[in-house]
Structure 1
Amino acid sequence: MRDTVRRVVRCAVGLMWGAATAVVELLCTVLAGLLLLPVAAWPHGRRAVLRPVLAGARRLTELERARLRIWLRAHTSPVYEDTQALAYLACRWALGVLGAVVMLSVAIGLGYGTSWTYLWLLVDDVRNTTVIVYTSLGGLFLLFLAVQGIVGVAELEGKLALRLLGPSHQHALERRIAELSASRAAVVDAVNDERRRIERDLHDGVQQRLVALGMLLGRALRSEDPDRADRLLRQAHEESRQALDDLREVAWRIYPTSLDEAGLRAALETVAERASVPVRMEYGLTGEPGRAVATVAYFVVCEAVTNAVKHAAPTRIVVAVGAEKGVVHVSVEDDGRGGANASGSGLFGLARRVAALDGRLEVRSPPGGPTLVTAELPCA
């Protein structure tokens, strides 16, 4: 309920600003028409007039894009032609007028809906109570319809901007092809980086312990002192146990079996249990996401928690996983020292994993903290 009220208030402010800018846009549209009409058949003159007209249209359109982004939460592409900006302004002023009508309806509905309060407070002799009640109910009904109109006009504003300022179909396809090529190359690089990391973990960890184990067993075999041989065998046994732990750690970092066997929630709870600092888990998914989405979500949490414990010295970590409108949201926040490098190997690899699913990864880590890692993963 609180979010709905905030949204309505935010949209109302955006429509009031839009009503004010609609006056300027209407004047600019009429002025542009008057300036272009005499030179419509004169190419050189048309170009000379179009240049300042289109420049002014782009400035007004940028103001509109900022209004849409701040108040109506409508994001449009920054890549558009100047002629698209002029066409957008020529259509947008009508929506601005409609928004002004809606806001006027809100004021009238609010006035009539609350009329009973000041009538009974200010008028000593209120004789026609029925008229007051009906007037108040009619005002409240008008207010209800006007609030619905606020949301509807706000949505129309966003759709108009996307329709007239959005990229053309060909440009959208070209951009999509470029994104797919970049994500494919990123996946290949991520796979190669993962292989190098596995090789490094095996070489520096498990392999070194196995070499030490072989040396201990060889010394025990060559030793003629039973007590010394027994100590060497005990050391070899301890070394084998540590090698097995390292091997399990490497296997767990490659891909946790609990993700397939018990699901994403159990795998994330394992990450929380293995961390050396308290991790609070807020899991809001009602169903199990697809394997690809679950895998990327798991590695986002795992890498973010590992980085926080290793570099930020936090006292607590909060992991939140939820879904909204077909998108899985993952966030990891810690109260550590901050200053995380988003271009580092770990977070950069995560960004490529997320981008491979057409998702988005964002890292906010000011010096002194806190650090917040968020990922948005499209999920059917």
Structure 2
Amino acid sequence: MRTLAIRTVRHTVGCALGAATALVELPLTLLCGLALLLAGVRPGATRPVPRPVRAVAAALLGIERRRLARFFGIRIATAPDDARALRYLAVRWTLGALGGAVAVLVVLGIAYSSLFVYVWWLSAVRYPLEVALSNLAGLMLLFLACQGVLGTVALEDQLARRLLGPSPHDALERRITELATTRAEMMEAVDGERRRIERDLHDGVQQRLVALGMLLGRARRTHDPARTDALLRQAHEESRAALVELREVAWRVYPTVLDEAGLRAALETVAERTPLPVRLDWAVPVPPPRQTGTVAYFVVSEAVTNVVKHSGATRVDVSVGRSGDRLTLRIEDDGTGGADPAGGGLTGLARRVAALDGRFGVHSPAGGPTAITAELPCAS
């Protein structure tokens, strides 16, 4: 309820600011229309819209883009040309007027719905029934005005994406480029994983197996029973250590618990195996799809491993939730911060997330804390 109220207030402020910009956009539209009309009656006119007008239009468009992003969460990826910008501003001032009207209605609704709070301090109330009816009418007006605000925001979204967003051809080309880039990055990430596995096997398990073979060879060559017994005990310990390291490598490649018990159990296992205290906040009512859960597991696992190795933190907080059709992850620590998003480990995580058309972010100011966030598609 509180989130809905905050969002409604933010949208209302955005509509009010849109009404203020509409006061500039309407004269600009009329000026552009006049310039076009004069160009139509003057033969040989090659630049119907003067440069100062285009400069004002570009400035207004920048204000509109910031307003849409800040108050409505509408972000347009591409910067349109002058013609599309002018076309957008020529139409948007009508929505600005509508937004101003609904913002005024919201204020009136708040004023009338809270009449009983302050009317007693202004004068003696002789007709309490009329005050109660005014409060009820104010609540109805506030409800309808809030619906008008939401409708205006939806219209703003459609208009901006239609007139400012990329054309279907441009969007398709950009999507093809993204897919090609993601495929190349995933191939590089897979090769990196293979190199890491080879390095773990070579530097860990292989070295222990070599040591185990040497101990057994020495045990076979010696004729002292006590010495033979000591060497066999060392070989036994070495075989146990090799088995532990082999299990660790297999776990890092792909944990079987992820398939057997699901993402939550796998993350709880990560928390148990981590030397630092890890608090897991799980708020996912329905288990995510297998592919999404796999990527989510590796994001959390690698992020927690990076915290242990590099951050100097004393605790880690892991939050897993679901927002609509997106699985949200947040890994936060109390370390020294300063993590480089372009580093090898974080780049690999970003590539994993991008392969599923997800979003990945790192916020790590100097001095901490470090927060790693990810959003993954989680359609049922």
Smaller-chain TM-score bracket: over 0.9
1:22 matched residue in structure 2 = 22
Q: Give the conservation status (yes or no) of the 8 Å contact 2:338–2:365.
A: yes
1:340 is paired with a residue whose SS is: coil
1:363 is paired with a residue whose SS is: strand
Query: Quick check: 1:250 aligned with 2:255?
Result: no
CA distance in 2, matches of 1:95, 1:61: 15
Per the TM alignment, residue 116 of structure 1 is displaced from its structure 2 partner at its CA by: 4.6
CA distance in 1, matches of 2:156, 2:182: 32
Query: Quick check: 1:165 aligned with 2:156?
Result: no
Per the TM alignment, residue 289 of structure 1 is displaced from its structure 2 partner at its CA by: 1.3
2:24 is paired with a residue whose SS is: helix
Q: Measured at CA, do residues 115 and 222 of structure 1 come closer, stay the same or move farther in structure 2, by a change above 3 Å?
A: closer
1:113 matched residue in structure 2 = 113
CA distance in 2, matches of 1:66, 1:348: 29
Query: Quick check: 1:180 aligned with 2:179?
Result: yes
CA distance in 2, matches of 1:233, 1:129: 97
Q: Measured at CA, do residues 125 and 14 of structure 1 come closer, stay the same or move farther in structure 2, by a change above 3 Å?
A: closer
Q: Give the conservation status (yes or no) of the 8 Å contact 1:54–1:83.
A: no
Runs of 4+ in 1 over 6 A off after TM superposition: none
Query: Quick check: 1:306 aligned with 2:305?
Result: yes
Q: Give the conservation status (yes or no) of the 8 Å contact 2:18–2:96.
A: yes
1:11 matched residue in structure 2 = 11
Q: Give the conservation status (yes or no) of the 8 Å contact 1:36–1:50.
A: no
CA distance in 1, matches of 2:276, 2:118: 59
Per the TM alignment, residue 230 of structure 1 is displaced from its structure 2 partner at its CA by: 1.1
Per the TM alignment, residue 139 of structure 1 is displaced from its structure 2 partner at its CA by: 2.4
1:37 matched residue in structure 2 = 37
Q: Measured at CA, do residues 129 and 334 of structure 1 come closer, stay the same or move farther in structure 2, by a change above 3 Å?
A: closer
Q: Measured at CA, do residues 31 and 194 of structure 1 come closer, stay the same or move farther in structure 2, by a change above 3 Å?
A: same
Per the TM alignment, residue 107 of structure 1 is displaced from its structure 2 partner at its CA by: 2.9
Q: Measured at CA, do residues 85 and 199 of structure 1 come closer, stay the same or move farther in structure 2, by a change above 3 Å?
A: same
1:8-157 equivalence runs, <5 A: 8-40=8-40, 45-47=45-47, 49-124=49-124, 126=126, 128-157=127-156
2:331 matched residue in structure 1 = 332
**Deviation sequence 1:238-260 (CA, Å, 0-9, x none):** 11111001100000000000000
**Deviation sequence 1:71-100 (CA, Å, 0-9, x none):** 122112233222111111111110110111
1:342 is paired with a residue whose SS is: coil
CA distance in 2, matches of 1:17, 1:378: 33
Per the TM alignment, residue 44 of structure 1 is displaced from its structure 2 partner at its CA by: 5.7
1:292 matched residue in structure 2 = 291
Per the TM alignment, residue 51 of structure 1 is displaced from its structure 2 partner at its CA by: 4.1
Per the TM alignment, residue 344 of structure 1 is displaced from its structure 2 partner at its CA by: 1.6
- Compute the TM-score of the two structures, normalised by the length of structure 2: 0.95
CA distance in 2, matches of 1:110, 1:287: 39
Q: Give the conservation status (yes or no) of the 8 Å contact 2:13–2:103.
A: no
Residue type matched to 1:329 in 2?
T
5+ residue gaps, structure 2, are none
1:361 matched residue in structure 2 = 360
Q: Measured at CA, do residues 320 and 125 of structure 1 come closer, stay the same or move farther in structure 2, by a change above 3 Å?
A: closer
RMSD over aligned Cα atoms = 1.7
Aligned length: 379
Q: Give the conservation status (yes or no) of the 8 Å contact 2:119–2:125.
A: no
1:162-311 equivalence runs, <5 A: 162-311=161-310
CA distance in 2, matches of 1:44, 1:221: 103
Identical residues among aligned pairs (%)? 57
CA distance in 2, matches of 1:27, 1:328: 46
Q: Give the conservation status (yes or no) of the 8 Å contact 2:39–2:48.
A: no
CA distance in 2, matches of 1:118, 1:2: 24
- Compute the TM-score of the two structures, normalised by the length of structure 1: 0.95
Q: Measured at CA, do residues 110 and 266 of structure 1 come closer, stay the same or move farther in structure 2, by a change above 3 Å?
A: closer
Q: Give the conservation status (yes or no) of the 8 Å contact 1:54–1:85.
A: no
